[in-house]
Amino acid sequence: MAAFTRIAEGDVPSISVDPSHVISRINDNTYGGFTEHMGRCIYGGIYDPGNPLSDENGFRKDVIEALQELKVPVVRYPGGNFVATYHWLDGVGPKDQRPRRRELAWQGYESNEFGTDEFLRWCEVVGTEAFFALNFGTGTLDEALAWVEYCNLSSDTHYANLRRKNGREKPYNVKYWALGNEMWGPWQVGQMTKEDYAKKAYQWAKALKLMDPSIVLILCGETGHSTWDAYVLKECIRWDLHGLGGDMTASLIDMHSIHIYTASKEHVKNAIAPRSAERAIEITASLIDLARIENKVPSSVPRQGICFDEWNVWDPARAPGEEGAEEKYTLSDALAVSVWLNVFIRQSKYISMANIAQSVNVISPLMTTKTGILKQTTWWPLLLFCKYMRGSTVAVHVRCEEYDGPTEPLWIRGTVDTPWLDVSAAIDDQGVLSMAVVNVHETKSFSVDLKGIKGPVDVYTVTGSDVACVNTAEESAVGISETKWDGNGRFEFPKHSLTMLRWTP
């Protein structure tokens, strides 16, 4: 949470923070990842057998080490649009018997060499949890139930025994399951109306929770501010004692998924665009409340959270999905990612999970080559947030000038505040307070009065020579610089930068 007061040009900006003003817990799943059978994300990304950089399973060790550095808590798989024609049985059992299939989402081919067991084994090596998306396009409920049985049940039944036959005795206990992906989209194989989707999702949810009541089910939303979201939430967030065996403390639906990507060729519009996601989160939270109120869901049922399971900076025109979506990120994009992460911290009350799309090669902060790994500009803010913005959100008050030019999307203007300084703060379980300040101004630094900060202060800065600079294999133009500040006087936030301040109150 951040309160904002606009000041006149030339007035002294200020940021006030009080460690006792704790707002809400930051869910560790905010720093989730996403791997899809798209471009080089799986093959040549997390899985590259025969490469000297890979282990005995074919898993890229440098990718594993990078994700472990981020402490990624959960990774979504296998899509994305890919999942709408994916049949999980194609990807289990002896590899030489797995069928090669035509892949329709990204117009490629799928060998099925990497499937359920490989992914879950990779998750165990990384130290992360799996989040599976179910095929709502060409898939069936029987197929979905079989997948849950294969992954989670210890019973003497067909698909649990198939798992044992394939070499895994104990269940994987996959907790998170998505009820389809972007089923509202015209690009989607199996596109549905909101009415058809809501009916199918609710029916599937009842059956899936009968198979395994412990799983967490995620409803397929749109942007969070659409009629699809409003309708689907109203129809699916209901109190269903029959479907839950009389349990008054559980729900068929546990989270609602929303997706937003931002991008602009103009720096300030690009950096500020994630503010649209902040309003989307607030609207989605209100729609969840409205559904609970109208459907008389008792307070004993935990409030459904928001799963922002695809977010990032992505311009499909410059990085087409059909060509692998290998974005080359600039400093401007790194600042946009910083604002994205600030949004999630400020809105931690509502965010149960967020998954950057994607974890490697495809619109990713990490890019692999045959001989190594490149950490793009967007890696560095993600690393700082993953390391330090844990624990609980702390309220801040920002007084500064405001950008009042055009925005992308247009509706930001007049709907969302657009201060030049975008701020969030968090206090971790050891009592260390971290404050992230993004100065999105391309040419102006701000000297700011900071209230509530006690030195000594560790200072981490992400910036570069200009907003267009990029990292390459030969040169890293953007990284993290570390300095100290005694906490006295005003602090200057450089132009086009992310600054993180850390101190013990």
In terms of Cα–Cα distance, which of 258, 36, 152 is closest to 45? 36
CB–CB of 369/48 below 8 Å? Answer: no
Angle value at C-alpha 317, between 314 and 323, nearest 5 degrees: 85
In angstroms, the CA 480 to CA 461 distance is 5
In angstroms, the CA 288 to CA 307 distance is 12
- Where do we find the tokens 């084994």? 121
For residue 255, give the 3-state DSSP assignment.
Answer: strand
Q: What is the CA radius of gyration of the chain?
A: 23
CA distances from 503 to 189, 221, 346, 427, 487 (A): 50, 39, 19, 10, 9
* Residue 241 CB coordination number (10 Å): 10
In angstroms, the CA 299 to CA 43 distance is 46
For residue 403, give the 3-state DSSP assignment.
Answer: coil
Token digits for 244?
A: 């839950």
The residues annotated as belonging to the active site are: 182, 310
For residue 414, give the 3-state DSSP assignment.
Answer: coil
In angstroms, the CA 273 to CA 262 distance is 6
CB–CB of 240/277 below 8 Å? Answer: no
In angstroms, the CA 46 to CA 113 distance is 13
In angstroms, the CA 242 to CA 66 distance is 45
What residue type is assigned to position 173 of the chain? N
What DSSP line would sit under 256-322, residue for residue?
A: EEEEEEE--SSHHHHHHTTHHHHHHHHHHHHHHHHHHHHTT--TTSPPPEEEEEEEEE--TTTS-GG
* CA distance from start to end of the chain: 19
For residue 109, give the 3-state DSSP assignment.
Answer: strand
In angstroms, the CA 179 to CA 346 distance is 27
CA distances from 407 to 310, 330, 421 (A): 21, 19, 16
Residues 6+ positions from 86 with CB-CB distance below 8 Å:
37, 78, 79, 110, 135, 139
CB–CB of 23/417 below 8 Å? Answer: no
Token digits for 61?
A: 């060790």
